[in-house]
């Protein structure tokens, strides 16, 4: 099943954002959270190229795994889809959220240059 939004949690006290369910806010220690959905557009914060990997991803290698800093504040690790040339990659390059499926979060470059 695919989701076209990123779901996370926001601390009801200080507003800190979390991608996964946490028991306590790591900033203020508060225990109450509200679910929040994120559109998921953002920019590359960090990335790495994966050449060797285990099944079932072998057929896809090499591919790019990036940490994306969402415009909405959260950092999310996911895969960059599509044929991407090295020169298109860099810190701060804009990306768009595509979907989340059983393999994880997927992004693509916002504009193909
Ligand atoms: Zn908090």
Residue 105's pLDDT is 95
Predicted confidence (pLDDT) at residue 108 exceeds the cutoff of 90: yes
Report pLDDT digits (tens) over 37-88.
999 999 999 999 999 888 888 888 899 999 999 999 999 999 999 989 989 9
Could you give the strand order of the β-sheet that contains 17-18, starting from the edge strand earlier in sequence?
17-18, 6-11, 33-38
User: CA-CA distance, 103 to 42, in Å (whole number)?
Assistant: 20
* Higher-scoring residue by pLDDT: 60, 98: 98
Average pLDDT along the chain: 92
Residue 31's pLDDT is 97
Structure token pair of residue 40: 């998921």
> CB atoms < 10 A from the CB of 43, how many?
16
User: CA-CA distance, 16 to 9, in Å (whole number)?
Assistant: 8
> Per CATH, is 39-113 categorized as 3.90.650.10?
no
Interval between CA 20 and ligand 1 midpoint (Å) = 14
> What kind and span of H or E run contains 7?
strand 6-11
Predicted confidence (pLDDT) at residue 113 exceeds the cutoff of 70: no
Report pLDDT digits (tens) over 21-36.
899 999 999 999 999 9
Interval between CA 10 and ligand 1 midpoint (Å) = 8
Q: Which neighbouring-strand residues pair with 78?
A: 66, 105
List, as one string, the DSSP characters of 73-103: S-EEEEEEPS---GGG--TT-EEEEEEEETT
Residue 69's pLDDT is 97
Residue 106's pLDDT is 96
Interval between CA 93 and ligand 1 midpoint (Å) = 30
Each domain of the chain, given as residue ranges in start order, spans 1-38, 39-113
Q: What is the pTM of this model?
A: 0.88
Among the listed residues 76, 53, 73, the one whose alpha carbon sits nearest the alpha carbon of residue 63 = 53
Interval between CA 26 and ligand 1 midpoint (Å) = 7
Interval between CA 113 and ligand 1 midpoint (Å) = 40
Interval between CA 29 and ligand 1 midpoint (Å) = 6
């Amino acid at each position: 099943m695919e989701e076209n939004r990123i779901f996370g949690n926001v601390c009801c006290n200080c507003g800190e954002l979390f991608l996964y369910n946490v028991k306590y806010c790591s900033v203020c220690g508060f225990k109450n959270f509200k679910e929040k959905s994120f559109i998921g557009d953002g920019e590359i914060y960090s990335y790495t190229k994966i050449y060797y990997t285990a099944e079932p991803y072998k057929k896809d290698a090499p591919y790019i795994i990036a940490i994306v800093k969402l415009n909405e504040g959260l950092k999310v690790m996911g895969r960059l889809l599509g044929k991407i040339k090295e020169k298109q990659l860099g810190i701060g390059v804009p990306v768009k959220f595509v979907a989340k499926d059983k393999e994880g979060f997927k992004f693509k470059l916002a504009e193909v240059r």
